[in-house]
Amino acid sequence: MSSTYGNLFRISTFGESHGKAVGVVVDGCPAGLGITEAEIQAELDRRRPGQSKLTTPRNEADKVEILSGIFEGKSTGTPIGMLVANTDQRSHDYGDMAEMYRPSHADFTYDLKYGFRDHRGGGRASARETIGRVAAGALARKILKAACGTEILAYVSQVGGIDADIDPLKATLARIEANPVRCADADAALKMAAAIEAARKSQDSLGGVIQLVVKSPPKGIGEPVFHRVEAELARAFLSLPATKGFEIGSGFAGTRLKGSQHNDPFIVKAGKKSKGASPLEAIGTASNRSGGVQGGITNGEPILCRIAFKPTATISLPQQTVDKHGKPRTLAAKGRHDPCVLPRAVVIVEAMAALTLVDLFLEQRARFGLFS
């Protein structure tokens, strides 16, 4: 089930980059969730190509069509089908790739696995597949917001050797969307944009890091052994095209600290406790090097993750490769590609976080009751 994700809130994506359409089927969305095509479209608009000169010029509106599962603006509890048509394919640009393998792309491994592949735009290996994830993520995000007040934000924190200098907890959607890089640090965003533009002009590409911040996540979700929250998030993010690394909380930097430096002291938070609430509700931590997860279970603090993305594999610079007959060749790839995937990957990271957390949240409620 390589294209299915989730247990109680389950999605199955379908479609290829240059096929007729891409989309998703969502099974397990609770009935009664108010949702409109406009809300889903708003998320897809943040992912779509052609947003700026920093992204691929492929001209797709990515207009979503809800096929099933929504009636009079509310989910019915039955499978929700959503479709986005492909309208601006240029398959002739990929003729060379029918025979030659792009270095560091999935062309070669798809032939190893299947013995046959759709070479147009990368087929199923294209990031266009993530449209379905973003559409489904809009539903998941709304469930979490309604049930827990959860806010999910991601932004570009590094491009090449340029780093943002901002407290992740001070990032806002307005600051992130204020520039085409989607960096919450305006000064760093200008430098990042210049670097991406320089890479584009030189027919090359850049990678970087996306910072995820989940405020007010569901508390007490996740399993203590094999289905730890951080393990599920890592699986979700590393399923995205071009991802190469994942950190949560202090990440690798935390290995340089002693336990006395790294541990998050428990405190009693100020504020009025609601009547009948558990005493645990007033407990928090003075720091958050755990990244909101301890023992595989959320502790109520913000979830802080970083996801590394490699430079885009498809570049127009001539590269050494071989063809499917094993003969050495030189490939200068054609087609329209992002010189840096990060600005459009921000919303995809948010979507995968929402899909993962909502699934764990629904499992917790199913196991321990609605009001425990």
Half-sphere exposure of 230 (CA within 13 A, CB side): 23
Average pLDDT over residues 124-131: 88
Looking at domain 4-249+290-368, its CATH class is alpha beta
337: CB partners within 8 A, 6+ apart: 56, 205, 312, 314, 315
Strands 283-285 and 80-85: unpaired
pLDDT > 90? residue 281:
no
261: CB partners within 8 A, 6+ apart: none
pLDDT tens per residue, range 31-69:
999 999 999 999 999 998 767 777 766 667 889 999 999
Query: What mean pLDDT value characterizes the chain?
Result: 91
Strands 328-331 and 283-285: unpaired
Residue 112: its H or E element: helix 107-114
pLDDT > 80? residue 91:
no
Rounded Cα distance between 291 and 213, Å, is 9
Q: Which residues of 178-194 are buried (b: 16+ CB within 10 A; e: fewer)?
A: ebbbbbbbeebbebbbe
Name the token pair of 17. 């980059």
pLDDT tens per residue, range 137-196:
999 999 999 999 999 999 999 999 999 999 999 999 999 999 999 999 999 999 999 999
Strands 70-71 and 266-268: unpaired
The confidence score (pLDDT) of residue 372 equals: 46
Instruction: Tell me if the pTM is above 0.85.
Output: yes
How much of the chain exceeds pLDDT 90, in percent?
71
The confidence score (pLDDT) of residue 21 equals: 92
Rounded Cα distance between 62 and 49, Å, is 9
Place of tokens 């397990």: 28
pLDDT > 90? residue 243:
yes
